[in-house]
Each structure stands twice: as structure tokens, then as C-alpha cells.
Chains A and B, each alone.
Chain A
Amino acid sequence: MSSIINQRAPFWRDIYQSFSRMVGNQPTLRHFFEPISQWITGAYHAELSKCRLMSLDSTSADTISLTLKVPKRWKGFQAGQHVLVTLQHNGRYVTRPFSISSSESLWKIHGNIQITCKVKLDGQLTPQLVSLTNQDTVFISAAQGQFLISRTSDDVMLICAGSGITPMRAYLQSLKDQYAAGGNSRASIVLLYRFRGEQNAAFIEEMRVLASTLPNFKLILSDSRIDEKMDWSSLPATTKQTSIYVCGPSGFMQQAKIALAETNVSPEQIHQEYFGPMVMNKDPSEQSADTATSQVEANYVRDGMAYSITTNTETNLLESAIDSGVEPPYGCRIGVCFQCVCNKVSGQIKDLRTGELSGTGKEQIQLCVSAPVTDITVEY
């Protein structure tokens, strides 16, 4: 549940939760007082940190960077992690994950973080981000994700495409700050950055500057408008000690893994960050053709135990769960009774009633009227 509760030791947390449930029928007193806090402060969310927008800059032709002042209570992050960004739009909380693109020292010294995102005009969240003005409220979750770029191993290879640059940039900036503060430099860092035209490549100038100031930093740029096919042989040789980090659209990550496997890199060396770059939203006409009969993997998680089921994009999640012996709570099976509402952790679904596609992040869905469009994980 919320990060606020988890800060307490288990014993006191249990006492506090029982007390809140007894007095206010809410998991914490924050939830109980939320309507009043909202009235006083204008915007308040019991489970998220309230940030103020400090500035909104365009970092390339199609990406923007938001600088956010985070509250003191926020627990911090490590380069490579992401936050769930939540905005209120037309009465709804809309949430999407974004990697933090700024250095750790920006947060430590100024209490600010930056997120960088690609603007999709047909998306649900990014058009709202663009229309924000300074001092507006943006909610963020605690930092999360296991894409932690190693600080101990000798060699690091970073491979990214498009907005996959963001976690890499957070890492490189943190490293630069460390280096400027007199920290030891690394044996070798390689960054492969692939993009579609230089005007769309966020932070490209910054990377060039870093390449000339950071010792042992090798920058490989690849423009898909010039080199249509990625030339993987341009990657320098790796050793068994090299940790490799890959972030980008799913097609690119697949290619990278295949190319790396050919150079005898073992899978344990590869770390990847994938937050469904909404493939499905890109071209609705294309998508109906190639998702018609796709097989997907559905993971049902309860109390930490996962049940994995192979299903398809036409069957509702409730039916495939019940057929495979996973029994989430359910009732009417027609979307009326709301007993089968579950937490979707990741993946994208289609509402079978409207054909509407969901986001790829964490949200609540009705299993009985939802069919998976991508691989999906659901807590029930």
C-alpha cells in the first residue's frame, strides 16, 4: 500500500492501521482527513507526494522536461529508477511511469527532480503535462524500479533508444557530479544512443559535452534516419565483468538482446527497463490487424505468489483466470457488480464493452470486461 504506512515498524504500523480502520474506516488517518486536506490545500492525495512544477522545458522537438520541487518527506531515488506521475484531469487521476532524468545531487542539494517524457498528442497524460504552468501541482509516487545502474562493477555499457535516454542521463549526470566532487572515475563507460533525427534526440548536446569531460566515457550515436539498420558491430567488445543496461522501445530492446547474445554476453549481464512504450496507442489501424489472435501471458499475483497463464487477446481476464483455476473474486461477469475489480500492475488491456485501450501502468480494472492486449500482471 502507500509508502506512508510502510515507513513505520511493522508492529506500530499494524496498531496504527487498526486504529485508523476503527476510527475512520480508512487505512490511514491521512485517507480519513483527505477531503479536509484537499479543501485546505487545493490539491491533496493521501498516498502520493505533492510536487510543484518549477519549470517546463522542451528538451528536443518531441520531448519535454519537467522540473519538480518534491516535498521533504519524499524518500529519494537512485539513478535509473522511475516514479509514477499522477495528474488530475477532468475528475480523473491519470497515472504514467516516467524515469527520473536528473542527477541525484539535484535532489539532494535543491530538492528538485526532473522527468523527461515524449509528448504524444493522442496520449492521455502528456498533453496535460504540456498544458501545465509553473507552480501547478503534480503528484508523484515513491521512486521505484530495479533498473539500478551499478556503481561497483568495473565496466558499464548503456544502450538506449529514444526516450530510453532518460535513466541513462540521470546516471551519467550523477556520475559527473561525483567526479566533479573528486570521486573516482570508472574504468570504462559506453553509451550507445539511437534516435530518429538529431532534433528529436533529447540531451544529445549534453552527452557530447560529457563525452569530452568525463574520462573513459565513449559515446556512440546512431541516427535511424541516416543508418536505417542498426549496426550492432559498432559496439565495443565486452568482458564478463561488463554490466549492460538497455532501455528503449520493445523492438529495439529485442534487437539489442539478440545482438548481444551473438557476442557471447550472458543474460545475467543484461539489465533492462521496459515500461510499455505504448505500442498500441501509436497506430490504431495497424493494431487491430496484429493483435487479432495474439497469444499473451497473464500473471495473477496474490500474496506474492504468481500464477502464469497463456491466454489470448480476445478472452476476458476473468474467464481465462477461472478456466486455469485461478479464482479471483467475481460476480455478475457482465461489468455490473464490481466484485472482480483488481489492481493491474503492468500491461495494457482493452475494455471489451467499448474497445477502449487502457494505459500500461498501475490502475484498477474489471477483469470480466477486460481482455489483455500485451503481457499483463494483475494482483487479485
Chain B
Amino acid sequence: MKLTTQQFDALAKDLDNIKSNVKNQLGEADARYIRRVLFWQRISEISGRILLVLGFITPWLWAVGVLLLALAKIIDNMEIGHNVLHGQYDWMNDPVLHSKRYEWDIACDAGSWKRTHNFEHHTYTNIIGKDRDFGYGLLRLSDDFRWRVRNLWQIFTYFMLSALFQWGVSYHELAGERVFFGRKKQKRHSQVTDSELKRAFFSKGGRQLFKDYIFFPLISGPMFLWVFAGNWLANLIRNLWTSTVIFCGHFTEDVHTFSEKDCENESQGQWYYRQMLGSSDFTGSKALHILTGHLSCQIEHHLFPDVPARHYPDMAKEVRLVAQKYGIPYNSGSFASQYWTVLKRIVKFSFPIKAQPLNSAVDAP
């Protein structure tokens, strides 16, 4: 299936319209919404940390504390951090909610994230060799990659990555720039020096470790170990959740990949087309959408990364119609079914057998 140049231009126009309709009505309601999210994030973080200490009364309080702290970290990372760092709320001109200033409760330095995620991943989505988010250099998720023996046990690698997801994200740029290991890539344009990368990595990571594993346990006195363990568990829950959500957005069974050659001199319409084929949605309640930072609408997020995410579910209805109009596959399903296909994909490409080329670049523009 291939669209003509005119169709690509018409596609771009249709999607631009959906975007400007929403952008024109941004205002008070969006500001109120994000501040309310911020408020409940702060409340659940503060009460979570207090309940961890109150665990000496009954461990149940400790357990609720763990869940609240995990919730606070998830909301901070997904609905607030991820979306603010995309510049979705820059129009508010609020220093606490500006992409330039925001720092989040995760090991990854916000600046590093903006380079690897906002720029590399969102510009070159699913272009093999350009978008290192496709498999994170650890997993073989399409036949575009040569098979290696280590791919045999990549399902375990995947579970490890999920459990340590915040560190994977924070190390991502340093791995790409070969800061510690590997030979430097030729001709790689880098805006930051290795020492800047190292400094950001150690200072942000160190701050997070100090906070969760030294500072808060220490000020809890005799509850040191409980708080230590509670923080560890909250971080683990957050890691598993964020990783699962993100894998469901990009590594479901029918997500397409592209080659660098396909995307040379790409028009806006072709870029939109690639974003639609390179992402997948999943359905769910409003609460689920918020917990995923609306990355449950990964397709809409990739089409309109700087539109405040609370609009994605509504935009999705229109995007689905546009997809139908041009005969573009629209990858959506329930959370569970999408996750099941993620696991299938990871296992499938563990083996060297060349799968039928349904997902590869042959039908790309």
C-alpha cells in the first residue's frame, strides 16, 4: 500500500487541522487540569513518605505508603514530567511547568532525555540505525537487526530492563555516545561532551539514590530499613509500569520499522504516516490514561508531541477516521492484548529464523 504525493499532502493537512483545532482552544481548562494533577502528585508523594514511617503502627500503613509513593512517581514521570518536557505546557509561561526547567523524579537527567527522546526518538521514530529507542540496543525486535546468540535469552533481558528501567533510560545517551565502552562512532554530531554527559548522569542519578536510600531512611531513624525498602519497592513498581506502557506503544506485533533511505527528504505527510505506523494505542479508562501519561494514545502523542496530552483520547477518534480515509493501519487494542503481542514479538525475534516481512520497511513510502 502506498499513498501518492497528493494523498500525503492531504493527510498532512487533515492532521494539521486536528492539531490546530486543539491548540487554538488551549487555556484556562488545561492550566487548571495540570495544576490539579500536580497538586495530587504532591499530596500522594508527601502522604506516601509519611505513611512509610508510620509503618511501625501497622505494616498496612507502610504498604499503602509504598503504593502512594509509587503512584506519585508514576504521575510525576508520565502525566507531568514526560508531557512537560515535551513542551506541552510551555505556553503557560510557568517556570514550574516549562520544558526548559522541569526536572523529574527519575534517575534520568531531563536534558539527556530531551536529546535522546524528544529529538532522536520523536524525529526519527522507528528508523533503524537512527532511533535507538527501537530495542534500546539490547533487544532484537525486527529482522532489520542481525541475530546474535544473546538474543536467545532476550525475554529475560527484557524483564531485567523493565525492573531497572529508570537506569536504562538514564544510561541510554551514554551508551549511544559510547562514553564508557565501545568504539566512538564516526561522524556522530554531538552537542554535549562526554564529561558533561557523565556529570549529568552521576549527579542526577546520585541525587536520586541519595534521596531514596540515604536521606529519607536516615531521617526516619529506627524505621530506616522499612523506608529504604519502601522506596526501593516504589521505584520498582514505577519502573515496571513505565516500561510496560512504553513497550505497548512501540513494540507491539504490528508496529512497522523504516530504513534511513526511505525517509530521506520526507514530507510532513510522510513523517505523519511514519509516526502512525510506528506507534500503537491501547484502550482503557480515564484513570488508565492518566497513569500512562496518555501514552496509551501513543499514535496521537507521536503525531502531536507538543499538544497537552489530555486531549489525545478525543483526538484519537478523529485520527482513527483519518487513518480509515487513507487506508492506513491504526494499531489499537486492549492493554492486555497489546502487551501480549509485545511479549510475542520479543520471543519471536529471539530466534534467527527470518520472519515473514510483514513489519519491515518494504511497504514504507
The answer to whether A46 and B96 touch across the interface, beta carbons within 8 angstroms, is yes
B55 at the interface (CB under 8 A from A): no
Complex: chain A residue closest to B95, CB-CB = A47
User: Hey, which chain B residues are within 8 Å of A339, CB to CB?
Assistant: 114-115, 118-119
**B211 adjacent to chain A (CB < 8 Å):** yes
Closest chain A CB from B153 CB (angstroms): 35
Q: Give chain B residues whose Cβ lies under 8 Å from the Cβ of A26.
A: 96, 103
In the complex, the answer to whether A92 meets B105 with C-beta atoms within 8 Å is no
Taking the closest CB of chain B, its distance from the CB of A5, in whole angstroms, is: 12
A35-B39, A337-B118 are contacts. A329–B306 as well, Cβ < 8 Å?
no
Contact of A91 among B30, B95, B114 (CB under 8 A): B30
- Asked if B314 lies at the interface with its beta carbon under 8 angstroms from chain A, I say no
Whether A38 touches B87, Cβ cut-off 8 Å, given contacts A25-B104, A331-B118, A337-B114, is no
CB distance A341 to B39 under 8 Å? no
Question: CB < 8 Å: which of B27, B30, B87, B96 contacts A31?
Answer: B96
Q: Is the CB of B191 within 8 A of A330?
A: yes
Say yes or no for B220: interface residue by CB 8 A criterion: no
Cβ–Cβ < 8 Å partners of A307 in chain B:
none
Q: For the complex, what is the distance from the CA of A38 to the CA of B41, rounded to whole Å?
A: 14
Out of A47, A88, A91, A332, which one reaches B26, CB within 8 Å? A91
Contact A36/B119 with A336-B306, A364-B90, A364-B100 known, Cβ cut-off 8 Å: no
Q: Taking the complex as formed, is A253 at the interface, i.e. its CB lies under 8 A from any CB of chain B?
A: no
Interchain CB contact (< 8 A) of B93 among A38, A39, A363: A363
With a cutoff of 8 Å between Cβ atoms, the chain B residues found around residue A36 in the complex are: 39, 42-43
Report the count of interface residues on B (CB-CB < 8 A): 43
Query: Which partner residue on chain A sits nearest B20 by CB separation?
Result: A354
B residues 93-107 near A (Cβ < 8 Å) are 93-96, 98-101, 103-105
Report whether B42 and A33 are in contact in the complex, using a CB–CB cutoff of 8 Å: yes
Cα of A95 to Cα of B92 in the assembled complex, Å? 11
Contact call B39/A332, Cβ cutoff below 8 A: no
Give the interface SS of chain B, mostly helix, strand, loop or mixed. helix
Q: Please measure, in the bound complex, the distance between the C-alpha atom of A93 and the C-alpha atom of B27, giving whole angstroms.
A: 11
Partner of A22, one of B32, B90, B91, B211: B211
Closest CB in chain A relative to B43 CB, distance in Å: 7
Residues of chain B with a CB closer than 8 A to A338's CB: 85-87, 90, 99-100, 114, 118, 306
Task: Assess whether B42 is in contact with A332, with CB atoms less than 8 Å apart.
Answer: no
Q: What residues of chain A lie closer than 8 Å to B122, measured between beta carbons?
A: 332, 336-337
**Chain A 30-59 interface 0/1 with B at a Cβ cutoff of 8 Å (1 = within):** 011111101100000011000000000000
Query: A331 touching B42 by the CB < 8 A rule?
Result: no
Q: A23: CB under 8 A from chain B?
A: yes
Within 8 Å by CB of B305, from A32, A47, A93, A336, lies A336
Q: With both chains docked as a complex, state the minimum distance between the C-beta of B90 and any C-beta of chain A, in angstroms.
A: 7
A326 at the interface (CB under 8 A from B): no
CB of A363, distance to nearest CB on chain B (Å): 6
In this assembly, does B198 line the interface, its C-beta being within 8 Å of a C-beta of chain A?
Answer: no
Q: Is A345 interfacial (CB-CB < 8 Å)?
A: no
- Chain A residues, CB < 8 A from B104: 25
A23 with B103: in contact, given A38-B35, A91-B27, A336-B122 (CB under 8 Å)? no
Q: Give the interface size class of chain A.
A: 35 or more
Q: Which of B215-263 contact A (CB under 8 A)?
A: 215
Verify A341–B90 contact, CB threshold 8 A.
Answer: yes
Indicate whether A233 reaches chain B with its CB closer than 8 angstroms: no
Give the chain A neighbours of B43 by CB distance below 8 A.
36
User: Beyond A21-B207, A25-B105, is A95–B93 a contact (Cβ under 8 Å)?
Assistant: yes
Q: B31 near A: Cβ within 8 Å?
A: yes
Q: How far is the CA of A88 from the CA of B123 in the complex (A)?
A: 33
The one of B38, B87, B95, B118 in contact with A35, judged by C-beta atoms closer than 8 angstroms, is B38
When chains A and B are docked, how far (Å) is the Cα of A277 from the Cα of B136? Answer: 52
Instruction: Give min CB distance, A163 to chain B, whole Å.
Output: 24
Q: Chain B 178-209 against A: per-residue CB contact (8 Å), 1 yes, 0 no?
A: 00000000000001000000000000000100
Q: How far is the CB of B105 from chain A (nearest CB, A)?
A: 6
On chain A, the residues within 8 Å of B264 by CB distance are none
Whether A94 is near chain B, meaning CB under 8 Å from some CB there, is: yes
Digitize B107-123: 1 where CB-to-A-CB distance is under 8 Å, 0 elsewhere.
00000001100110011
With the chains together, A36 CA to B43 CA distance in Å? 8
Structural contact, B118 and A25, CB atoms closer than 8 A = no
Q: Is A92 a contact partner of B87 (Cβ separation < 8 A)? A: no
Chain A residues, CB < 8 A from B28: 90-91
Chain B min CB distance to A89 (Å): 9
- A31, A46, A338: residue with the most chain B Cβ atoms closer than 10 Å: A338
Which residues does chain B contribute within 8 Å of A331, judged by CB atoms? 114-115, 118-119, 123
CB-defined contacts of B87 to chain A, threshold 8 Å: 338, 341
* A332 with B100, Cβ < 8 A, contacts A36-B43, A93-B92, A341-B87 known: no
| A92-B93 in contact (CB<8A) | yes
A354 CB → nearest B CB, Å: 10
Q: With the chains together, A93 CA to B191 CA distance in Å?
A: 31
The 10 closest A-B pairs by CB, nearest first: A91-B31, A331-B119, A338-B87, A35-B38, A90-B27, A25-B103, A337-B119, A337-B118, A35-B39, A93-B93
6 contacts between A and B (CB under 8 A): A32-B42, A35-B96, A331-B119, A339-B115, A339-B119, A342-B100
16 new A-B contacts, CB < 8 A, other than A35-B42, A338-B87, are: A23-B215, A26-B103, A32-B42, A33-B42, A35-B39, A36-B39, A39-B39, A91-B29, A91-B30, A91-B91, A92-B93, A332-B119, A338-B86, A338-B99, A338-B306, A339-B115
